[in-house]
């Protein structure tokens, strides 16, 4: 859920139903939150990203500029 700061900070559920941070970097160094936003762009192009469900689920993807804002926000320490 990316509706509010508190929702994002609370993390996401993994395959085992455990909460995990969406800010943890994946093996390629991309924060999980950015990766799932990028995955949504690929899904709308008919591509599937293994291990990631794109967000926002069921809605159009964020623009590259919006994703860059999220990436910058994370890099700056996620100020509230």
Please give the Cα distance from 63 to 41 (Å, whole number): 8
What does the CA dihedral 1, 9, 50, 58 come to, rounded to 10 degrees? Answer: 20
Over residues 37-60, the mean pLDDT reads 92
Over residues 53-63, the mean pLDDT reads 91
Confidence of residue 4 (pLDDT cuts 50, 70, 90): confident
Residue 2 scores a pLDDT above 80: no
Q: pTM (2 decimals)? A: 0.85
């Amino acid at each position: 859920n990316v509706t509010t700061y508190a929702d994002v900070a609370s993390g996401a559920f993994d395959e085992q139903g455990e909460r995990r941070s969406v800010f943890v970097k994946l093996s390629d160094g991309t924060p999980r939150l950015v990766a799932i936003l990028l995955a949504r762009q690929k899904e709308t192009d008919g591509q599937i990203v293994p291990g990631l469900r794109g967000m926002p689920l069921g809605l159009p993807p964020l623009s590259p500029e919006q994703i860059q804002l999220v990436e910058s926000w994370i890099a700056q320490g996620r100020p509230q």
